[in-house]
Chains A and B, each alone.
Chain A
Amino acid sequence: MRFRDTIGLVLTLKASLVTDLPLSDILQKTALFSGLEPAALQAVQLAAHTCQSAAGSYFFLQGDPAERVFLLTRGRVKLTQMNPDGSQVLLRAVGPGTLFGAVALAQGELYPVSAESAEDSGGVYWGAASLQELVLRHPQMALNAMSLMAERVQEFQQRFRELATERVERRLARALLRLASQTGRKVAEGVLIDLPLTRQDLAEMTGTTLFTVSRILNQWETRGLVTLGRERVIVRFPHGLVAVAEDLLPPQTSQP
């Protein structure tokens, strides 16, 4: 496990479904920039460059020098890491309003993950040097970055504990819930995980086999917890999945 390398790299904004807003609005809602004076925000905006990435192409590759910090404004990005045996592991899914490649804020690092566009995506980026300069001028950004990194460390600690101690069902339920809260979109049937997601991706995220993932997902589909499509998962009954993830007791009152 190479958790050390991945901790704190991706800084997420909580309400991550902003899109099609003016850049200044998006920046204002991005946790890294929260609490900045309007003048500082304007400096941040002036230093930003826009970029596009077609579905299937990469913002950066694992092992590239980390020279840019990205903020996704449109689309979906998968952050993956290559195992020594050549297999790819999906570490995180990123939706609009989320920073990635933030390792570039530290000097002389390499990107520990690859950032692949799961669909046509767009965003802005900052050169590492210019963002570092902004951080030095506006210490609030350093504090923001620290709290975001602490959040990320906690997420990975939790995932590590899950892998070490929990049954596969709970791990898979938690992985789906995490993806749903990161990229979920409310649709008529439930919450669509808005990301091309294979059974293999889920197996890698939960440290199990494709066969096991398929078996559990099919059981859940029969129980009405999820609806499965080709590379698509809809969480039909979020509470049911939470109950699996958290080992909740059934509600005490009987349902009508």
Chain B
Amino acid sequence: MKQLLNNRHPYMFIAPAVILLTLFSVIPIIVALVISFTDMNLKGLANWSAISFIGLENYKDLFSDATFIKSVFNTFFYVIIGVPLVIIASLSIALLLNYGTSWIFNTFRAVYYMPSITNIIAVAVIWGYLYNTEYGLFNYLLSLLTVDNIPWLEEPTIAKISLIILAVWKGIGINMIIFLAALQGIPKSYYEAAEMDGASRLQVLFYITLPLLRYATFFVTVTTLIGWMQFFEEPFVMTDGGPLDGTISIALFIYQEGFRYSEFGYAAAGSFILFAMIIIVTVFQFKLQKKDTDL
């Protein structure tokens, strides 16, 4: 073992991946932090001497930028409505799927997972058609119930809700699989004992199944929350942040500042505010979880 200690082999094995990660994940963090204190833009890209340090100017500007404030508000709107919906929907479906093991249940597992592996542009194309005010299927079905046309993507608040529906549809799959794996890890003997004691279905659900899913629920909540705070693809492909910035999220704001207006420094500052918000929310959840297990 001693001679292996200075062997070059382990380094040869890890080198390709670690070098790539360093170049495209570690160094970029440092670069982002540095440029967030500069006024780097398209001019600075061509000529580095045109870049100057402006301290916390970008961060200050962000908090007086109406579009940024709106994007923060929208992101909270998405998170507060979307995250509970995804968790409840994926948990309910996992509970139903866990009921049996025959081919029917396997088939439905695949059906519910499908949206989560579907390409986002294909999703945008399909849902754009479904949501279309004149020719869309949704408005046609509603017209059968004599409901007036709904402007799915044309009114700021309705558009936000439309995007949430789409994102919940797409977000169920992966969380459902995690819940299902956790459900299958619960020993059968617990259920048998409960049945022997004459526990009702609801009692089993609330006093055995849900408490034993605590860790899976925590994991799903943390990852879903992190994911939804970075809500990006849905408004990007469906509405481009419109109408009237009604659907713009923080992540989309960063993208637009960076790649549409080439305000690299400003966008980098925005991304660090988002990063800080994610860390605060995540730490807060771990604190809550600790308290919960202490009790």
A, B from the same assembly: no
Residues on B lying within 8 angstroms of A by beta carbon are none
Residues on A lying within 8 angstroms of B by beta carbon are none
